[in-house]
Structure 1
């Protein structure tokens, strides 16, 4: 089977999931023939993905998220306005994606939450079946928990998620734990996608807290927390770090973002502080490391991740770097959570391959309805 990927290039999670899926497909004898990655002029395809992905990569323009440089808060209005201003180049991108699909003629397209995929299938209707994979598709599941109130953010999140998956045969919703499928909305609940590098690690009990922050604005929060708890040794992988090991003082060291080194540090830490990104929390859960999950301001998806992660017991949700609260929580953390998580994650191999077989089986290849009826249905 020949498979083409469509990958959102924002952050690390979807790119890492694509690498994990490539490993699964190679093990099963399938051929990943390429990846279309959504980029912006300010955000290129990350080096860690270029180095690890073994097939040709085609960067294609796709509007990104806008954050406040001072507060690190996601700015939905500016994000929307930027997307509107990008209509013409975005339409060009949709036609480029359609042409790549029709030229390469894969057996199936796997879309990792890239809006280019959903809108290309909605408006230009490529002839190749597509399935979509992301944690965000749990938003269409009746068991999904989200912050109370925040109606506007909730609807914006659902609309954005919907725009990534028009025309998909199935939505594979990555979940911390096993839940029933929801076929009424094409949702199948599947385990997280973790790279083989994570499974090969041998966790050890360390004496330091690991921090992972991708947005520069979070640096001030991290340093404020360090000043409050200078006795607590912290190693922080930070987007603005300029060297592999940037020593600040005896108990705080910054590290430049490096996937392999980060996993090594995670296997040796006693706990992790992160911005409630699904991928990092899953890696921590697999390695048995409790997580302090701090959603970025106005980032509804991360707020949902923190609630969901706390529900299954992988860590503690918080609004800021409250290290005292986290240290109080650690003795209460249940280590059996990691055992259950591992057992669930190991079921993924056959579930993902089964989804590919269903997508390519002869049958109805239609996109599943018009835009507005589908929008009204999913926002209920």
Structure 2
């Protein structure tokens, strides 16, 4: 089979999932003919993605969530205002995506949570079947448990997730643990897509705390803690591309631009990991047996963190008070079942993707009324 990938380009999770799935498909005789990645003025595509993908990578302008002025949590008001102004640009992107789908010769489109893919299927109804992959589709599962959060925010999150998957034949929901499928909502629960590099790393306990923050504003919190505890080595990664590859603050604190080879190397040797609760890096920490502290940057990560904590991954915090993480790490026990869950995922995923693709049209037409009903 020939596949076309369409990937939301914010953060590193969807990017690494796309890399992993391409490796699996090629290894099993399939082909990824092209990869379309959403971009914005505030994000830069990490170099590791272009180096890792075999298929040609093309970019299009896509909606983006803007942070608060402090560059920590997402600002919903700023994000909505910014993206409304950009609607004409996004319509051009939708038209571009449709043309690429039709010209690619693909047998299937794999959508990694890109909003404009769902809207493309809503407006143009391409003949190529679409399958969506992402942890976020678990939010539509009838048995998913949400944290005590803003109900309006949760409703918007679920609606946004529905929009990304308009016209999808199936939603493959990546999960920290096994759950029954939700056939009514076309949700199949599958293990995380962790790259073989993660599984090949031999973890050991070093003397430093490893970290990743999707918004660089959290760096102030890290530096404030570091000033009080300079004896604890810290190595944090961020999306701050105007800085040098490694910004060394002093002998025990360094900030790194996002590079996946270096990121995994640092992950394997740390004694604990602190993150803004992105699904992918949480899974990597769990697989390598690292105690984890999660500081969510938006409501989606609030849900990730709550679900991960229920799976024994670690603790949830409001800021990077790393003393909490060090206390948690003292009695932490890795979740061995998670490792077995991840290792059994490839066969399940291939089985789902290789099913007959000819009967998806009814799904497409049945859900095209979602947006009209909402409006």
TM interval, shorter chain, is over 0.9
SS of the equivalent of 2:165 reads coil
Shift of 1:368: 4.6
Shift of 1:243: 3.4
> Matches of 1:372 and 1:154 in 2, distance apart?
21
1:284-329 per-residue CA deviation (whole Å, 9 max, x = no partner) reads: 1111111101101xx1000011101100001111111122222221
- On the 8 A contact 1:65/1:79 being kept in 2, the answer is yes
SS of the equivalent of 2:6 reads strand
Unpaired runs of 5+ residues, structure 1, are none
**RMSD, aligned α-carbons:** 1.7
> Matches of 1:304 and 1:228 in 2, distance apart?
31
- On the 8 A contact 2:272/2:325 being kept in 1, the answer is no
Distance 1:314 1:230, change over 3 A: same
The residue that corresponds to 2:299 in the other structure is 300
> Matches of 1:174 and 1:13 in 2, distance apart?
11
Shift of 1:215: 1.5
- On the 8 A contact 1:67/1:73 being kept in 2, the answer is yes
2:244 paired with 1:243: yes
2:175 paired with 1:166: no
Unpaired runs of 5+ residues, structure 2, are none
TM norm structure 2: 0.95
Shift of 1:373: 4.4
2:315 paired with 1:319: no
- On the 8 A contact 1:213/1:274 being kept in 2, the answer is yes
> Matches of 1:152 and 1:162 in 2, distance apart?
15
The residue that corresponds to 2:346 in the other structure is 349
Choose which of 334, 359, 362 in structure 1 pairs with 2:358. Answer: 362
SS of the equivalent of 1:170 reads strand
The residue that corresponds to 1:290 in the other structure is 291
TM norm structure 1: 0.94
- On the 8 A contact 2:202/2:268 being kept in 1, the answer is yes
Shift of 1:365: 2.0
Q: What does 1:114-133 align with in structure 2 at a 5 Å threshold?
A: 114-133=114-133
**Higher alpha-carbon deviation: 215-224 or 146-155:** 146-155
How many matched pairs? 372
SS of the equivalent of 1:34 reads strand
